[in-house]
Amino acid sequence: MKTINEATAQNDLREFIAVVEKRGELARVNNAHWDRELGAVTEVLYRQKVEKAPMLLFDEIPDYPQGHRCAYGMFGSPFRLATVLGMEPTLSDNRKEMLDHFRKHIKKGFKQIAPRIVKDGPVLENIMREEDVDLLKLPVPVHHEHDGGRYIGTAVGVVTRDPDTGRINVGNYRVQVKGPNTCASYISNGKQGRIQRDKYLNAGKPCPIVIIVGCDPITYLAAGYTMPDMVPEYEWAGGMMGQPVELIEGEVTGLPFPARSEIVLEGEILPGETTLEGEFGEWHGYYAGEARQEPLIRIKRIYHRNNPILTCAASQKPPHSHLFERCFLRSAALLDALEGAGISDVTGAWLHQAGAGRTFLAVSIKQRFFGHSTQVGLVASQIASVGYVSRWIVVVDDDIDPTDIHDVIWAMGTRCDPKTRTTVLDHCWSSRIDTLVKDYSRLYNTRMVIDACRPYEQLDTFPKVCESSPELAAQVRAKYPELYR
């Protein structure tokens, strides 16, 4: 059992890095420049190695003291994601097993654990206050060649409080540096952080905000995981660890942030103050949405550990360094939501990296009745965890592995009649960063549900698949093990 005060790989980035390095999945890189090089090194590596690429820890960054570091690819491999989820390392060998274990852990025996407020922690080792605040004392990168500026917030937890209910939200939204003590954050319509922020601004009140830009692993995971609104992220994180997240309340806003954070910004957004934000290379691999006016954030405190680590998640054309965890978490949330909606016999799901973790998803089912596959496809197309800027929803039979893009496309090519087995949906949830949205006053998109299941009436007569039986496959693997290592 973990003790309450134990520093673990789940809630302390340095402990996590030590575990990752011991596994041989950490690369230390020196002398890469903050201006475009950090992002380029990461992009080129992940396009070559994808999920086999290491986590990158950049040090000796020009213009900054040794020890002021940037980390990319925190959960870019199955092992690293399994580590923060508290799984046995062997589970990282199979995506479906990882998903099944994660969902069983959440659903059976999982209990939210309320956080614990503490007065001290490593993040308070250094504090910049008021006129001493200078965001560029940290090695903030220009992540992509054509970004509109330096982005301090990419792998972050943005903390806000609902003024009506008091609910604390922790979300993952991009944050651009605008000056020594000012920045701006773009938050898409429909996201909880934006809903809460706009409640303050529409009422003519300042919005308190905390931005965790050196994020511990479990908080970053919680910030990016779509969960029901009634589930507080810090309580979910505590449940995942089996112990409370220790939080410190900010001096200015009283908003809580993890005591083991690397770097935390605290400030407020004043009504009527805006600044130009963007452009920024986004999750789909495009510059989309243009640079636009967004609320200005005034930073009044910077808290950071000695030799702080800025956590980064630069998005490029897929595959990139923070896609695997997004695909995994959204797939798990999709499966939970389908089950919660009363949909029977869903056997698997995966949002594919090639679709940037949003635009292409596959769901497998064991067909039980006429219209079953249509039901699953239509519901999956709108569920909150995957409904934002979705595009293609493919439903396949349970003999198809939804995580295997070759299997999915094979099913599309051999079991789907495009004229009769596809459904187009209009006026669906989108965003101004959608590459096909041209009118920013109408943030809709169109998506297609593809029924790539065998027709239900032909389940018994559809042509038989030509492949080795599981028994024969196991027999030859056992006979020639050297071939399959």
- Label residues 296-327 b or e (16+ Cβ within 10 Å = b): bbbbbbbbbbeebbbbbbbbbebbbbbbbbbb
Which of 312, 338, 361 terminates a domain? The answer is: 312
* Residue positions counted in the chain: 485
Q: Which residue has the tokens 């039980």?
A: 368
pLDDT in tens, the chain (485 residues): 343 334 489 999 999 999 999 999 999 999 999 999 999 999 999 888 888 899 999 999 999 999 999 999 999 999 999 999 888 877 777 788 888 888 887 766 688 999 999 999 999 999 999 999 999 999 999 999 999 999 999 999 999 999 999 999 999 999 999 999 999 999 988 899 999 999 999 999 999 999 999 999 999 999 988 777 788 999 999 999 999 999 999 999 999 999 999 999 999 999 999 999 999 988 888 888 889 999 999 999 999 999 999 999 988 888 777 888 889 989 998 998 999 899 999 999 999 988 888 999 999 999 999 999 999 999 999 988 788 899 999 999 999 999 999 999 999 999 999 999 999 999 998 988 888 888 888 899 999 999 999 999 999 999 999 999 999 999 999 999 999 87
Q: 329 in a domain, yes or no? A: yes
Q: Based on the domain organization, do 284 and 194 belong to the same domain?
A: yes
Structural domain total, the chain: 2
Helix (H) or strand (E) holding 451: strand 444-451
Which of 312, 342, 372 terminates a domain? The answer is: 312
Q: What is the CATH number of the domain that holds 335?
A: 3.40.1670.10
Q: 52 in a domain, yes or no? A: yes
Q: Based on the domain organization, do 243 and 332 belong to the same domain?
A: no
Q: 126 in a domain, yes or no? A: yes
Q: 95 in a domain, yes or no? A: no
Q: Based on the domain organization, do 216 and 340 belong to the same domain?
A: no
Q: Based on the domain organization, do 283 and 345 belong to the same domain?
A: no
Contacts of 415 (CB under 8 A, 6+ apart): 396, 397, 452, 453, 454, 462
Q: How many other CB atoms are found less than 10 A from the CB of residue 427?
A: 9
Q: Based on the domain organization, do 272 and 374 belong to the same domain?
A: no
Q: Based on the domain organization, do 250 and 357 belong to the same domain?
A: no
Residue ranges with strand state E in 23-89: 26-30, 55-59, 69-72
Q: Based on the domain organization, do 295 and 342 belong to the same domain?
A: no
Q: 443 in a domain, yes or no? A: yes
List the beta bridge partners of residue 57.
Answer: 28, 71
Q: 7 in a domain, yes or no? A: no
Q: Based on the domain organization, do 244 and 333 belong to the same domain?
A: no
Q: 340 in a domain, yes or no? A: yes
Q: 88 in a domain, yes or no? A: no
Domain that residue 330 falls in: 323-465
Q: Based on the domain organization, do 61 and 204 belong to the same domain?
A: yes
Specify the 3-state DSSP secondary structure of 219: helix
Q: Based on the domain organization, do 128 and 53 belong to the same domain?
A: yes
End-to-end CA distance of the chain: 35
Q: Based on the domain organization, do 347 and 373 belong to the same domain?
A: yes
Which of 257, 291, 312 terminates a domain? The answer is: 312
- Confidence (pLDDT) at 108: 66
Q: What is the CATH number of the domain that holds 284?
A: 2.30.110.10
Task: At 355, give phi and psi (nearest 5°).
Answer: -95, 20
Specify the 3-state DSSP secondary structure of 97: helix
Q: Based on the domain organization, do 305 and 327 belong to the same domain?
A: no
Interatomic CA distance for residues 210 and 34, integer angstroms: 24
